[in-house]
Structure 1
Amino acid sequence: MKKVLLGVGLLLSVSVGTGAAAPINDLDRGQTAVGVLTDTIYLEHKIGENLTVGYQNVDRKHGSDMDDFYAQYKLPFSSVRAILGHRDLGSGSTYIGLSVSEGLAPRVDGYASVIGSDDFIEYQVGATLELTRAVDLNLNYRNFRPDHYRNESRLEVGASYKF
């Protein structure tokens, strides 16, 4: 157990140093989040009342990185967001999706998302723990099902820094 806690502590110290992490963030207008997960780094910025734009880089096991440019639009009066993005400019594909997030407990939010295109589908379920107003800890399960590579499922840990 001590080794697991030490490993999580080391991951957090590295993550917070570079920025840190979670795919579904609740940002205020004009706020930016920088994040790291097990194999992902990302940057998001909320540019309007309901619109967040972002970039993420995922280091996949099969040897090629994937770069995503995306937008999330929070539907009025709900916790649902519509997602539109493009993976790997030039040779990639445009994808669409939905996410939902809800408070589970004080300072803990749960979320689920699905995105897909004609080349892949990706599911994600996770929870975010607010450590401070600027730093969140994230734990999620991600399932990636591409058409041309092996399916990947993994449990991921990360953190995010908001400013």
Structure 2
Amino acid sequence: MNKKILTLMVGTMLATSVGYAAPLTDLAQGETNIGYNHYNLDQNGDRVKDDSFYLENALSNKFIAGIERNGYSSEYGDFHTTDIYVHYKLDPNIRLIVGDRSYSGESDKFFYGIGVNTNLAPRLDGYASVTTNDIATGWQAGLNYKMDGQTSLNLGYKSDKRDNYATKDGVGFGISHKF
């Protein structure tokens, strides 16, 4: 099973170019996850800071609903996106992603994608996801380290390519807490 998931992750990333969404976390029905991530991104030599906050809830064994706000800042100004999304678990490791992305100062866009996660070690999970809409495609991959049953640290890489803009990509870190 792990070889299938790894093949799907690599194939999806290569086939789609470049998502941003909260790191994939496994939630049981009724669990809620809150988190923060900070990314230092590069956009054609310009530094862009990305701070994101997210809140997710497992509505059932198959559906997770969430909201995420990414705040970008650079020397050229500030920009933000807000995602309202749903994950549908095809199986415990693969999920479909759909949602609405609100761009500051622009119209909302429907987005869709796929995400995968797998256990790599007793307290370490790996994940990857890709999302796209008619103006942007993005992907992310990373690791979640479970400090205990509720709190996890995240280390990840994400990349976002919007039409008529250079790719924003870079490494980040974060923390999340389930309750």
Q: Please give the range of the TM-score, normalised by the shorter of the 2 chains.
A: 0.7 to 0.9
Distance 1:119 1:54 in 2: 22
Per-residue CA distance 1:56-87 (angstroms, 9 max, x = gap): 000123521100000000003x5110000110
TM-score, L = length of structure 2: 0.75
Identify, as 1 or 2, the structure richer in strand: 2
Q: Which residue of 2 aligns with 1:25?
A: 25
TM-score, L = length of structure 1: 0.82
* Deviation for aligned residue 1:23: 1.7
Would you say 1:36 and 2:51 are equivalent positions? no
Q: Which residue of 1 aligns with 2:89?
A: 74
* Deviation for aligned residue 1:148: 4.1
Distance 1:118 1:140 in 2: 25
Structure 2: state its 5+ residue gaps.
1-21, 39-50
Distance 1:53 1:148 in 2: 31
Instruction: Find runs of 4+ consecutive structure 1 residues off by over 3 angstroms.
Output: none
- Which structure ranks higher in relative contact order (CA pairs < 8 Å, sequence separation ≥ 6)? 2
Partner secondary structure for residue 73 of structure 1? strand
RMSD of Structure 2 on Structure 1 (CA): 1.5
Q: Which residue of 2 aligns with 1:118?
A: 134
What is the number of equivalent residue pairs in this alignment? 141
Partner secondary structure for residue 128 of structure 1? strand
The residue identity in structure 1 corresponding to 2:178 is K
